[in-house]
Amino acid sequence: MARSRIDVVVGRNLSTRRIGLGVTSQQLAQKLGTSAELVNAYEEGSVRVPPQTLLDIARTLRVPPLSFFSEVGDGGDSVGEDLMVRASEKLEQSVQLLDDLTQIEKPKMHNLVLQLAVAVDQLRQLLNGRSLEGELRH
């Protein structure tokens, strides 16, 4: 499989941060429950880092996950900045949705909308294995 530009960027930033902290690939692998060979493959960009693993690496190396994506890309745009813009847009949409939800005065309609949100989350769960259902209950 050919290395993609984003995999190389993520790998290079992962390696830079790990080495900067004085952490060996073996030590990182142990914390992740994987092999040093796989960590090295992530760093080379020859194997794509799964999203959950990237979050685990970010926590272990004490950096925001988006920091692995920063590099000047085509046209001078930062890959990380592009992701931040998209994340910001999603956040704005979510805030607007929550604001709209609070405007619903009929309790039955309010509950139906919440049930729809839970159903959508369950579908999303099937796609990427992460649930917000517990967060909606709190």
pLDDT, tens digit, 9 for 90 and up, residues 23-52: 999 999 999 999 999 999 999 999 999 999
Q: pTM of the full predicted structure?
A: 0.53
**Element housing 29 (H / E):** helix 25-32
Query: Given this model, what pLDDT does residue 26 score?
Result: 96
pLDDT in tens, 84-137: 666 666 666 777 777 787 788 888 887 888 888 778 777 777 776 544 444 444
In the chain, what are the domains?
5-69 (1.10.260.40), 86-137 (no CATH)
Average pLDDT, integer, range 69-92: 59
- Dihedral in degrees, nearest 10, Cα atoms 43, 48, 53, 56: 40
Q: Is the pLDDT of residue 74 over 60?
A: no
Residues counted in the chain: 138
